[in-house]
Structure 1
């Protein structure tokens, strides 16, 4: 049970930072401040908000007793279902916000912050009142706070470094980033779920991430080849 929450923290809060950093190092087109900020923002929205929200929804809706045990709270509460649908809403917002570079992202970050800070406050109050140090009551607070802090900081930086003017090349770059981040998010979620069922959380989560990234790169490669084939015809 302890492993569940530690791997969840790694999967949904640390992996997006590692992937964004690797993408930044390998992508020669991501050299402007605006694009660097965009890279980290997209990976966090895709994984820390989108995949995490959908995964949390699945846990609260279909594995409620397991989650309750991990948090150290009584099983069988219908409030688990309410939390499940709240997480589902966050997951959908995160996925939708990947391709949005407007106020929709800001609204999503506000929602994530309110839920994350609110949940952490409740957990800290429970710790103070009962001394409950179950991993679900302690470890997950790190992600609940880290993700909103990073997203708020990135949103602030984005205001200081306005996005570049839209052009065909810029739009292609954004689509490529969104594709890889989206597939990585799917890989994290699927890998985490398979790992939970198979009793090998970390292994399957890492394999899922690698498979998702590889599939995203493959999709981008095919799209790039198709674009090159169309270029002579356009001329």
Structure 2
């Protein structure tokens, strides 16, 4: 698997897979609101924050390698600006995990505009030059797939929030959500670190797999510890 294909999997497919497993194993995620919230947490965390910060490090610190994967000239200072644009998206993703107001819509708009814009630029380059490098073609799958997922899940969640009897306005929902925000944050950091270290040592797949395993363990530990704490509190 190429680096570009692995990156597309990590930041576009993995969030959906991880959220699906999480919902299946976490017995507290039985309501529609909680299920949608879990999917959005992984999309904003791994999909947006992880991808954005990872993109910043790639374009800023190993810009020549990234340029080569796209099939574009090396050493262009504009690539550093793209790195900071990615960093901005990463920060937006982090903040969007912790908030549930209109900041999420703003983040989705930013991700969508950047993704569509990048896809248009790559498409023009393909038409004009025939450049079919993985970074110029395969990356567009993520550029389009991720915004579509974010829009779909966020619209669905907003609809459930407006429905009668929605639990999203109750304090219990935020109490349930808080440890899961931390858990997904740890998962994001672990996966992104695994991918970055693996890229540096030439073993991206192995290192990324270890990052996923450690991240999954962090999610289980964080949520189970919170659940045990609540049980002890109720008994006391």
> In the TM superposition, what whole-angstrom CA distance separates every residue of 1:102-134 from its partner, at most 9, and x where no partner exists?
100000000000000000100000000000000
What's the secondary structure of 2:167's corresponding residue?
Answer: coil
> In the TM superposition, what whole-angstrom CA distance separates every residue of 1:149-193 from its partner, at most 9, and x where no partner exists?
110111211122115244453223212321221111111100101
Determine if contact 1:41/1:154 at 8 Å carries over to the other structure.
Answer: yes
Shift in CA distance, 76/93, structure 1 to aligned 2, threshold 3 Å: same
TM-score when normalising by structure 2: 0.93
Determine if contact 2:180/2:223 at 8 Å carries over to the other structure.
Answer: no
Determine if contact 1:187/1:212 at 8 Å carries over to the other structure.
Answer: yes
Shift in CA distance, 165/45, structure 1 to aligned 2, threshold 3 Å: closer
1:156 aligns with 2:155: yes
User: 1:69 Cα shift?
Assistant: 0.4
Determine if contact 2:59/2:80 at 8 Å carries over to the other structure.
Answer: yes
1:182 aligns with 2:185: yes
Match of 1:39 in 2: 38
- Deviates further, 46-55 or 23-32: 23-32
Determine if contact 2:190/2:211 at 8 Å carries over to the other structure.
Answer: yes
Q: CA RMSD in A?
A: 1.5
User: 1:217 Cα shift?
Assistant: 2.2
User: 1:232 Cα shift?
Assistant: 5.1
Alignment of 1:210-221 (within 5 A): 210-221=213-224
Match of 1:48 in 2: 47
Match of 1:119 in 2: 118
What's the secondary structure of 2:57's corresponding residue?
Answer: helix
Match of 1:26 in 2: 25
TM-score when normalising by structure 1: 0.93
1:65 aligns with 2:60: no
Which stretches in structure 1 are left out of the alignment for 5+ residues? none
User: What is the rounded CA distance, in whole Å, between the counterparts of 1:170 and 1:156 in structure 2?
Assistant: 19
Determine if contact 1:109/1:152 at 8 Å carries over to the other structure.
Answer: yes
Match of 1:207 in 2: 210
> In the TM superposition, what whole-angstrom CA distance separates every residue of 1:32-75 from its partner, at most 9, and x where no partner exists?
21111111111000011000000000000000000110000000
Following superposition, which runs of at least 4 residues in structure 1 exceed 6 angstroms of deviation? none
User: What is the rounded CA distance, in whole Å, between the counterparts of 1:31 and 1:230 in structure 2?
Assistant: 23
Match of 2:86 in 1: 87
Shift in CA distance, 218/210, structure 1 to aligned 2, threshold 3 Å: same
Shift in CA distance, 216/28, structure 1 to aligned 2, threshold 3 Å: closer
Among 151, 173, 176, the residue aligned to 1:173: 176
1:193 aligns with 2:196: yes
Determine if contact 1:71/1:136 at 8 Å carries over to the other structure.
Answer: yes
User: What is the rounded CA distance, in whole Å, between the counterparts of 1:143 and 1:88 in structure 2?
Assistant: 17
